[in-house]
């Protein structure tokens, strides 16, 4: 049986670089030569990657179950450029009939006409970076759209025929209070998207927010308030009919993001575009991240890999457990044992016993998961569990 593959396409361009963002993004004029050349290079990257052989099998022989355009801002590209990349995908891969084809979008980077053209190209899942339904918070967050524009973008997606829409929201923002967070959630619920992703603001190294934070010029809610925001969102969204299937993600029944589930199950995927990561045959590698260098290397037929690692079974088990425990369904200990030839109950014996006793982990038969009350500190629980691993 041929196992399907997932494809990630990184579009590294934005019209504005937000102060909190540490993604591999670059501000370029839409009509710049670099943007045009990068799109062309991504097409060539797809063609070459499709012929790579992994575990004795050419990648083009594996059908695509999911395709995800991320960034950056994929909708920064013109519809002609998106068409060019999609044509390359169709030329070199077979897509399953029910493939999930996703794109991220910012509220000011698309309208009904562009969204409709994307639907015609086969996109069937849209993720809109709203972040907050409050103009003051959006300004504090260094976003460049308004609440009205966010609502209009969502309405444009619906008018274009998208029946699977995600909205990104953030909490723990500068000057954000619990009532302001509740108001954003209510606005999102009123719009009734199929999916909601909720992320706590993280101060990332090297960002403008880090410099402001270090200088004492960034007023953030305290940890207790941030936890309260998260717990309120769990309660309110569950009440509204959403399934809390991953720490930060909620969906209506049947609308969990299939592409992201590939990551959380630590399954194989191919990444193309500047800085994109691939995980195939036990190897993980990253492509050249600078667009100019990426374009040049693609043109010259050079090796795009700038970082790589091969995970031995113990490290691969650690990573799969780390990712899988983010899922509310938890992980199957039997499946881990079968996949890696190692027994998690032996490798993490001390950690599992301690964390179960503390009520932070729950073991129910074959399933291990983070307890409900430990959700706000999931990362801490996982770190402690992995630290207990036997050599």
Say if CB 24 and CB 289 are below 8 A apart: yes
Q: How far is 373 from 272, CA to CA, in rounded Å?
A: 39
Q: How far apart are CA 97 and CA 60, in angstroms?
A: 16
Q: Which pLDDT belongs to residue 391?
A: 59
Strand 195-200 with 165-171, pairing: parallel
Describe the chain by its helix, strand, coil percentages, rounded to 5: 45, 25, 35
Under DSSP, is residue 213 helix (H, G, I), strand (E, B) or coil? helix
Residue spans of beta strands (DSSP E) within the chain? 5-11, 13-14, 26-27, 53-54, 57-58, 64-71, 95-105, 125-131, 165-171, 195-200, 243-246, 249-251, 269-272, 277-280, 283-287, 305-310, 331-332, 361-364, 367-370
Q: What is the pLDDT of residue 24?
A: 86
- Tell me the HSE value of 71 on the side-chain side, using a 13 A CA sphere: 28
Q: At what angle do helices 313-324 and 333-340 cross, to 10 degrees?
A: 150
137 with 171: CB under 8 angstroms? no
Tokens of 325: 């425990």
Q: Taking the C-alpha atoms of 217, 219, 222 and 227 in order, what is their torsion angle to the nearest 10 degrees?
A: -120
DSSP 267: -
Q: Cα–Cα distances in Å, from 345 out to 151, 228, 365, 367, 389?
A: 48, 33, 12, 11, 10
Please answer whether residues 171 and 200 qualify as being in contact, where contact means their C-beta atoms are separated by less than 8 angstroms. yes
Question: What is the pLDDT, as a whole number, of residue 258?
Answer: 98
Task: Write down the pLDDT at residue 390.
Answer: 77
pLDDT tens string 42-99: 999 999 999 999 988 999 999 999 999 999 999 999 999 999 999 999 999 999 999 9
Whether 334 and 280 have beta carbons less than 8 Å apart is answered as: no
C-alpha angle 291-81-28 in degrees, rounded to nearest 5: 40
Q: What pLDDT score does 52 carry?
A: 95
**Which of 154, 167, 6, 223 has the alpha carbon at shortest distance from 93?**
6
Low-confidence ranges of the chain (pLDDT < 50): none
pTM score, whole prediction: 0.95
The CA–CA distances, whole Å, from 30 to 78, 79, 109, 282 equal 8, 12, 11, 37
Maximum separation of any 2 CA atoms in the chain, in Å: 60
């Amino acid at each position: 049986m041929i196992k399907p593959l997932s494809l990630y396409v990184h579009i590294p361009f934005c019209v504005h670089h937000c102060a909190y963002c540490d993604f591999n993004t670059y501000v370029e004029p839409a009509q710049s030569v670099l943007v045009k050349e990068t799109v062309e290079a991504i097409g060539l990257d797809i063609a070459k990657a499709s012929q790579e052989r992994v575990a004795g099998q050419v990648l083009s022989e594996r059908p695509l179950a999911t395709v995800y355009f991320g960034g950056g801002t994929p909708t920064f590209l013109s519809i002609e450029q998106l068409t060019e990349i999609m044509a390359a995908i169709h030329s070199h891969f077979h897509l399953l009939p029910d493939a999930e084809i996703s794109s991220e979008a910012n509220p000011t980077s698309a309208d009904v006409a562009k969204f409709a053209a994307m639907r015609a190209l086969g996109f069937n899942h849209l993720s809109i970076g709203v972040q907050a339904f409050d103009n003051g918070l959006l300004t504090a967050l260094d976003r460049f759209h308004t609440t009205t524009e966010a609502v209009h973008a969502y309405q444009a997606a619906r008018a274009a025929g998208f029946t699977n829409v995600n909205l990104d929201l953030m909490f723990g923002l500068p000057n954000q209070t619990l009532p302001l967070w509740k108001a954003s959630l209510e606005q999102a619920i009123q719009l009734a998207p199929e999916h909601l992703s909720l992320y706590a603001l993280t101060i990332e190294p090297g960002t403008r927010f880090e410099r402001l934070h270090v200088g004492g010029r960034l007023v953030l809610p305290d940890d207790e308030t941030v936890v309260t925001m998260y717990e309120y969102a769990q309660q309110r969204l569950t009440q509204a009919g959403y399934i809390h299937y991953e720490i930060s993600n909620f969906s209506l029944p049947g609308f969990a993001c299939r592409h992201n589930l590939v990551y959380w199950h630590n399954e194989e995927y191919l990444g193309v575009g500047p800085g994109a990561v691939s995980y195939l045959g036990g190897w993980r590698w990253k492509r050249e991240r600078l667009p100019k260098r990426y374009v040049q290397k693609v043109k010259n037929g050079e090796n795009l890999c700038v970082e790589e690692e091969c995970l031995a079974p113990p490290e691969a088990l650690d990573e799969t457990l780390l990712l899988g425990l983010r899922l509310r369904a938890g992980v199957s200990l039997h499946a881990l044992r079968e996949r890696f030839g190692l027994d998690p109950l032996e490798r993490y014996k001390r950690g599992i016993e301690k964390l179960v006793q503390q009520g932070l982990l729950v073991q129910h038969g074959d399933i291990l998961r983070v307890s409900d009350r430990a959700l706000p500190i999931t990362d801490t629980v996982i770190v402690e569990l992995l630290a207990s691993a036997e050599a």
